[in-house]
Chain A
């Protein structure tokens, strides 16, 4: 099976500080892959490299096409939805306007309407708050909005940067439930960055553990979960 996303020997950093020292990973079509590791290991930077938010060398291919020197907005238009660190909610706009920005490039009108129905079915609270400013939403609701908006982009791949951050366990569970549903119903592949390793390993089929900018361990999630020494030394539970 061919990989949807291939990251090959990518090095990146901010100014003189290099953060990634040659990362390689791949996300197969329709699969959930998790990217684990301590703070500062380079998880967020890896995602930012994929959508062109940071300069990198090496190669990143999506759908067989190199993303080298492409602008963020063109990469996104290829079918990657990136829910960034901090969720990327446009707080000056309403909930509805945020959602519309998710679907604003789509030309398949009837399907868009159906997707809105689904989004509101998954997250009823967003329907209630449609006309309100997105800044009035709670942290959990903002995360729901971010995932909903990503779904409306109809991507082939979702990059999720710590969707559980700062949320109550109940909320985290329901959001992960829906991410799984989206993955299975639409065959959307997911590259999931998470601090909560236990949760991420349950969700994913493959996992990579980063350590100071390198891939330290990789393998099937089930295996990593069962491997005591990996769990102790890298995942901290």
Chain B
């Protein structure tokens, strides 16, 4: 029982990481009807940025928000410079463009920082604390806390502010929003910025666990895909819930299902994706595409 609780808690911590990246995927899916295949690599690159800042002697708690700001700006810039010119292109063009971005960031990180895995500092100790009989590391608690704060901030921005309202309107109904004076193009750029920042959080949280190298996010992005699909690819709340469910499920499967261990956890994520697509294609929070005539 105690071990189960422990596994669940550490699953929630990984879930927070997946949730952030899944939220990034959902934000961009809403803005352009397509998942951004470069999301993981953008997050990885931002993590290298944070690494460089901390390496130059900046305090972690200064480097973290600073990196998120830079990631936000980079996201906006990428939308304006790279995505906007092909906005109306066929979906396959957009897929190729985001795949190109992924390759670009991966190569650039390799070129600038090398492929040797680096240990990334964490402000939280790996010591454990006894929580209702289960031992949880401060690091897991810290990951949960930071993810929760970022997710709540993004939620408040989207649901409680005028900008968030305009952003949601622009993502779902660009033409009708323009007629209400919403600057749709800038709202989409804002969506890219937010997604980029949310992704950066997941990179920075996962780096102390996985070690930082240019391929670090390539498994994380699969879990994030699973989370986003499970939540219903259009729903930000679904991405968060999906992230936690994926985190816990994968962790439990690794611990209790014979043969899964640490090696086949990724297969569990794929199994979740396939199962959702077969059984409930709209996910937990997605709406079926219904049109009234």
A-to-B contact residues, CB < 8 Å: 51, 53, 71-73, 76-77, 82, 84, 88-93, 97, 100-102, 104-105, 135, 149, 153
Specify which chain B residues have a CB less than 8 angstroms from the CB of A89 in the assembled complex: 176
**Which residues of A have CB within 8 Å of B280?**
none
Let me know if B168 and A92 touch, CB within 8 A: yes
- The answer to whether B179 has its CB under 8 Å from any CB of chain A is yes
Question: Do residues B168 and A72 form an inter-chain contact, with CB atoms below 8 A?
Answer: no
Given A92-B173, A100-B162, answer yes or no on A149-B180 (Cβ-Cβ < 8 Å).
yes
Asked whether any CB of chain A lies closer than 8 Å to the CB of B55, the reply is: no
6 extra interface residue pairs, beta carbon distance < 8 Å, beyond A76-B181, A88-B173, A105-B181: A51-B179, A71-B178, A84-B179, A88-B179, A90-B172, A93-B169
Q: Determine if B215 is an interface residue (Cβ-Cβ < 8 Å).
A: no
Q: A92-B172, A92-B173 are in contact. Are A72 and B179 (CB under 8 A)?
A: yes
Q: How far apart sit A233 and B183, CA to CA, in the bound complex (Å)?
A: 43
Inter-subunit contact B183/A90 (CB<8 Å): no
CB distance from A130 to the nearest CB of B (A): 14
Least CB distance from A12 to B in Å reads 16
Instruction: Give every chain B residue within 8 A of A53 (Cβ-Cβ).
Output: 175
Report the minimal beta-carbon distance from A136 to chain B, rounded to whole angstroms.
10
* Residues of B that sit less than 8 Å from A by CB: 162, 165-166, 168-169, 172-173, 175-184, 292
Indicate if the CB atoms of B169 and A76 lie closer than 8 Å.
Answer: no
Give Cα distance in the complex from A104 to B172, angstroms. Answer: 17
What separation, in Å, do the CA atoms of A97 and B168 have in the docked complex? 10
Give the residues in chain A near B177, CB-CB below 8 Å.
Answer: 90, 101
Say whether chain B's binding surface is mostly helix, strand, loop, or mixed: helix
A45–B169 alpha-carbon span in the complex (Å) = 24
> Which residues of chain A are within 8 angstroms of B180 by Cβ–Cβ distance?
76, 88, 101-102, 104, 149, 153
The one of A73, A84, A93 in contact with B181, judged by C-beta atoms closer than 8 angstroms, is A73
B162 touches A88 (CB 8 A): no
Task: Please name the 3 residue pairs, one residue from A and one from B, whose CB atoms are nearest each other, closest first.
Answer: A88-B176, A72-B178, A92-B172
Asked if A90 and B181 make an inter-chain contact with CB atoms under 8 angstroms apart, the answer reads no
Q: How many angstroms from the CA of A27 to the CA of B179 in the assembled complex?
A: 20
CB neighbours (8 Å) of A104 from chain B are 162, 165-166, 180-182
A84 to B177, CA, bound (A): 11
Within the complex, the shortest CB–CB distance from A129 to chain B, in Å, comes to 16
Chain A residues, Cβ within 8 Å of B173: 88, 90-92
A76 to B169, CA, bound (A): 16
Q: Name the distance in Å between B184's Cβ and chain A's nearest Cβ.
A: 7
- Bound-complex Cα distance A71 to B178 (A): 9
Let me know if B165 and A100 touch, CB within 8 A.
yes
With contacts A90-B172, A92-B173 known, is A76 near B178, CB below 8 A?
A: yes
Give B165 Cβ to nearest chain A Cβ, in Å.
6
Chain B minimum-CB-distance residue to A52: B178
Given A73-B181, A73-B183, A153-B180, CB of A101 within 8 Å of CB of B166: yes
In Å, the complex CA distance between A89 and B175 comes to 11
The interface residues of chain A lying within 8 Å CB-to-CB of B178 are 71-73, 76
Q: Using Cβ atoms and an 8 Å threshold, which residues of chain A touch B292?
A: 135
Closest to A81 in B: B179
Give the residues in chain A near B165, CB-CB below 8 Å. Answer: 93, 97, 100-101, 104
What residues of chain A lie closer than 8 Å to B179, measured between beta carbons? 51, 72, 76, 82, 84, 88
In this complex, the member of A71, A84, A90, A149 whose beta carbon has the largest number of chain B beta carbons within 10 angstroms is A90
- Is A84 in contact with B166, judged by CB distance below 8 angstroms? no
CA of A100 to CA of B181 in the docked complex: distance in angstroms?
A: 12
How far, in angstroms, from A100 to B166 measured CA to CA in the complex? 10
Of all chain A residues, which has the CB nearest B293? A166
Chain A residues within an 8 Å CB radius of B184: 73
**A–B pairs, 7, beta carbons within 8 Å:** A72-B179, A84-B176, A84-B179, A91-B173, A100-B165, A101-B166, A101-B180
Q: List residues of chain A with CB within 8 A of the CB of B176.
A: 84, 88-90
CA distance A93 to B166 in the complex (A): 11
- In the complex, are the beta carbons of A93 and B162 less than 8 A apart? no
